[in-house]
Each structure stands twice: as C-alpha cells, then as structure tokens.
Structure 1
Amino acid sequence: MEKWLTFDCYGTLIDWRSGMTDALASVAGPEAEALLEEYHRHEPGVQIRNPDWSYRAVLAESLSRAADARGMNLSTDQLDVLGRTLPTWRLFPDTNRTLTALRDAGFKLGILSNVDKPLLLQTIEGFDTGIDCVITSSEIGSYKPALKHFSTFEETAGVDKTSWIHVACSWFHDVEPANEFGIRSVYINRERTNHTGGKASAILPDLVELPAVVAEIFQSVD
C-alpha cells in the first residue's frame, strides 16, 4: 500500500515569516514586525467568515484590518503586497533535501494549503522533486482548520488513514484538525512554541530528521 505524507506549505516548507516580513517592510518600514503580528490576529477570522474568498483577497483584507488597527493608511496596491510576493518567498534550507530523501524512500507527497492554486504552483517550481497531489483553498472553498482539505485529499488520493501522515508547523491549522480527522501528524516546531505531545505523533524542530521519524511511525503500525 502506498504511504503518503502531506504537508502544509507556507511555514513548513517555505519561510513564510521572512517572506511576509520582507514584503511588509517594503510598505511599512520598521513597523513590519508589529504589523505582521497584528495581521495574524485578523487572518483566521477573515478565513472563517469568507471561506469562498481567494487567499489573495484574504491576505489583502487581513492586512487592511491590521493596518487600520495600527493606525496606518495603505493603498490598494500596498495591500496586495503579500499576495504579489508570495511565490517568491524562500524555501527553508532543509526543504529540498528532505523532500528528495522522502521521495527516494518511496513516499508519495502531497500539499494541503490555505492558498490559491496558481500561487502554490509557482512556489512548487522551486522544489527539486515533484508533488503528487495538491489540495488548495481556491479549489475547495474552505480554509483549515476546517476539515475539507483532509476529506478532499482522502477521496482524491484514495488513501487509507493508516497510510497517511500530515506534516505541518501550525498546531491550530493542521495538527488539531488532523487529530480530529483521525490521522497522525508530525509537528514541525519552527516557531519554538510550547506545544507538547498528545495530538501529534512527533514534534521536531525542523525537517532534518523527518525521513527517519516517519519511517519509524509507519513501521510501528505495519
């Protein structure tokens, strides 16, 4: 039976924090870090209330609300800075090496992302190995932590839950819904949060040890 690994992309494979901070610095200068923190207070609510919106629209609206909260006045063009630059955000140094090792080990690879498919496809061009299945919000009209990414992937890939591990850096958007959906997950704790065990099968600081860890998890249930 094929063994699948699905990934969140931005934050897990792509350095979203540096990408967003650099983009915001181009319109907000030294206020970029504070604006980013404010942005993340607004994005989940925008997604929940507008599941049919494109992610580019979500980015702009969330940034607009964050700017208002910070007393900043950004133009329409400036509000699009995140969507415009997203495909250029850098890969983490361990991404290509790890994906290639997983592919060489025989795993099938998927991405479940809260993003527009055209933007994600541009990002994937920077990967050294192909991705077998992509599920995006723009295709299904839903944003994680809702479960539709997981149910759509299960149906599309025809995968058994025992042959699937989800890998992600967001406890809220990925680990908790994966646990609710009944699949195992590996939490990539790049942000050094204080989450511990329970809902995730493993917690790693980065992707370096992922191939060995997922092989051990699968072996434990074979």
Structure 2
Amino acid sequence: MGNLKVITFDLYGTLVDWKSSIGNSLDFIRQGLVDEFFRIEFRNVSSIKGFVRYSEILKGTLKEVLNRNNIEYEEDYGEMLVRMFSKSPFFADSIYGLIKLKRKFKIGIISNTEKRLIEITLAGVEDLFDYVITAEDTKFYKPNVMAFEDSLKIMDIKKDEILHISSYPEYDLETARKLGIRNVHFKRYNLISRIFNNKVFYFHI
C-alpha cells in the first residue's frame, strides 16, 4: 500500500444499510416498490444538471415511482422517506472495521447526500472520520468524476494516496477506476459489476 494516506468510503449502502431504511418506507406505502426506486434514483443522480439537494432528489424519485404505480404522492410520504434515509443504521462490521482502520489511516466519506442529513446518520460515530464530504460540498453527485476530483482537492491528497471502498461499482468504482484511484468492491446486497467480473477484492492492511 506504500504511500496510502486516506481510506475513503461510500456511506449509504456500504457502511450503512440504506436499503432497509428506504425499503421500510416504501413498504409502508406499498409492497414491491424498492427495486424500481433504486433504479430511478441512480438515473436521477447520474443525469442531474446543476446542484439539487439530495432530500429533493429523494422526494422527486419517490413521486415518480408512486406516479408510475398510480399511487397519490403525499408530502408527508416524502418527508418520511428523507427522515428514514437519514437514520439508516450502520452495519456492525462497518463500525468494527472503522475502529481498526482508524488506528493506521485517516478515514473519509464521499457521499451523495447533503450536510444536514449526513450529520444525523453519523451521530455518535463522528470521531471515526477525518473527512466527511457530501455532494453539497462538491456540488456534484457520483458517478460524476468531479465528485471525486473535488473531494481530492478538499482532502488535499493525490490520487495515488487514496483507497476508495464502495458496494456500488456504478456509483463509485467505475469512476474511481477511470481516474486511476485504487478501489475495493465491498460486496453488499449481492451487487455485481461488469468491470469487476463478479470478483471481490480483499486487502490486508
């Protein structure tokens, strides 16, 4: 690992279980909406022009999913979803691993969210992170390359000094790979990627 200085993580879906928090919200409205929601959410963050707060992206995605399924959207549904998202619980192995890694490296987050929401998610574990960078800071959403480029500037590190870890090739790892950033596919939810040939990479640090 040589010159490695910072290990960064995707947050939602990698360190915390956003599928359960969002899934519970959607199931409250109607069963069977979860997969469609995540497909549309990725399309929305991938195609967005200019900066929009992530809370508005969540609400807009929910509204589209409900409209597609002939369900009337309520503002309270949107607010429920945003609050549930912000309370996404940490996986136990995330906390355990972060405690160990923090002894040797600086730890960061690069996340598609906004400051007020991530503050809620990280309440009680803020001390485990040296850098917390959101789309509100960079004004770009992953997989846009500028989300990573601007994060590197904020942390004042070079591409060869960082290792990025994510469960999502499509949000994070494909872009990191294009930029020459070392990366690890941390497998959650049985997600696979065409560029990783369904392999999981392990680094002993």
TM-score scaled by structure 1?
0.83
Contact 2:167 2:191 in 1 (8 A): no
From 172, 175, 196, the counterpart of 1:174: 172
From 3, 9, 12, the counterpart of 1:10: 12
| Residue aligning to 1:96 | 95
- Same amino acid, percent of matched pairs: 27
Q: How does 1:59-74 map to 2 (within 5 A)?
A: 59-74=58-73
Q: How does 1:174-213 map to 2 (within 5 A)?
A: 174-195=172-193, 198=196, 203=200, 213=203
Gaps of 5+ in 2: none
Q: What is the letter of the counterpart of residue 180 of structure 1?
A: K
Structure 1 position 84, deviation (Å): 1.8
From 102, 112, 115, the counterpart of 2:113: 115
**SS of match in other structure, 2:128:** coil
In 2: Cα distance, 1:22 partner to 1:131 partner:
28
- 1:110-167 Cα offsets, whole Å, 9 max, x none, are 1000001111122112427431112111222211000122111211222122221000
Q: Which moved more, 1:74-83 or 1:124-133?
A: 124-133
Higher RCO (C-alpha 8 Å, min separation 6): 2
Q: Which moved more, 1:114-123 or 1:6-15?
A: 114-123
Structure 1 position 81, deviation (Å): 2.1
In 2: Cα distance, 1:49 partner to 1:125 partner:
29
In 1: Cα distance, 2:162 partner to 2:188 partner:
22
Q: Which moved more, 1:152-161 or 1:7-16?
A: 152-161
Structure 1 position 100, deviation (Å): 0.3
Q: What is the letter of the counterpart of residue 70 of structure 2?
A: G
| Residue aligning to 1:147 | 145
| Residue aligning to 1:220 | none
Is 1:85 paired with 2:84? yes
Structure 1 position 194, deviation (Å): 3.7
Q: What is the letter of the counterpart of residue 44 of structure 1?
A: F
In 1: Cα distance, 2:44 partner to 2:192 partner:
26
Structure 1 position 72, deviation (Å): 1.1
Pick closer, same or farther for the CA change 1:97–1:119 going to 2, 3 Å.
Answer: same
Contact 1:56 1:83 in 2 (8 A): yes
In 2: Cα distance, 1:167 partner to 1:36 partner:
24
Corresponding pairs, count: 202
Gaps of 5+ in 1: 205-209, 216-222
Structure 1 position 12, deviation (Å): 0.4
Contact 2:138 2:151 in 1 (8 A): no
